[in-house]
Amino acid sequence: MKFSRRCLSILFSLLSAVSVSTIAKADEPSPKYADVLSALQAGKNVKLILDLSRCTTLDGGKPGPATQAGLLISAFRVTAQNGISFANAHQTVDSSGQPVTEYIRHSLSREGKLTVRASKLIVGATQVVNQGEFVCELPDGAKFVSSLP
């Protein structure tokens, strides 16, 4: 079978277009990520609802603790490397009665997985204590709900 130069040129162009399209799709964020980012950029109220028992530990893939939580995202940062990041810090008393400040950091990857890192600082101490890192699939362990402000 003999192809003309024009035929080969068209075939090569089509193959190149398909390759570029496939590469572009691999770089596109997941629909879940895109929905959350779009809602935040539109100024909507975005709430995160977590069920850590449906998440897994970052280090061993074990189920997280039987803890549910929620927060309203008041500030966020978007980077190519970390996706959408936001945090919460609050003062409370731990199970031993010590006053602590808890820091909870959240990162939603472009692939649509949420990583949650919790740590605490005991009042008067100088070192932060890691309380755990968890990975949550959307919408099983974590879901985002948005509404107009």
The mean pLDDT of the chain is 86
Q: pLDDT tens digits for 85-139?
A: 999 999 999 889 999 999 999 999 999 999 999 999 998 888 899 999 999 999 9
Q: What is the residue whose two structure tokens read 């035929």?
A: 7
Q: Is 139 helix (H, G, I), strand (E, B) or coil?
A: coil
Query: How would DSSP label each residue in 88-132?
Result: EEEEEE-TTS-EEEEEEEEEE-TTSEEEEEEEEEETT-SSEEEEE
Band of pLDDT at residue 27, cut at 50, 70 and 90: confident
pLDDT of 19 above 70: no
78's CB contacts (< 8 A; 6+ apart) are: 37, 84, 85
40: three-class secondary structure by DSSP: helix
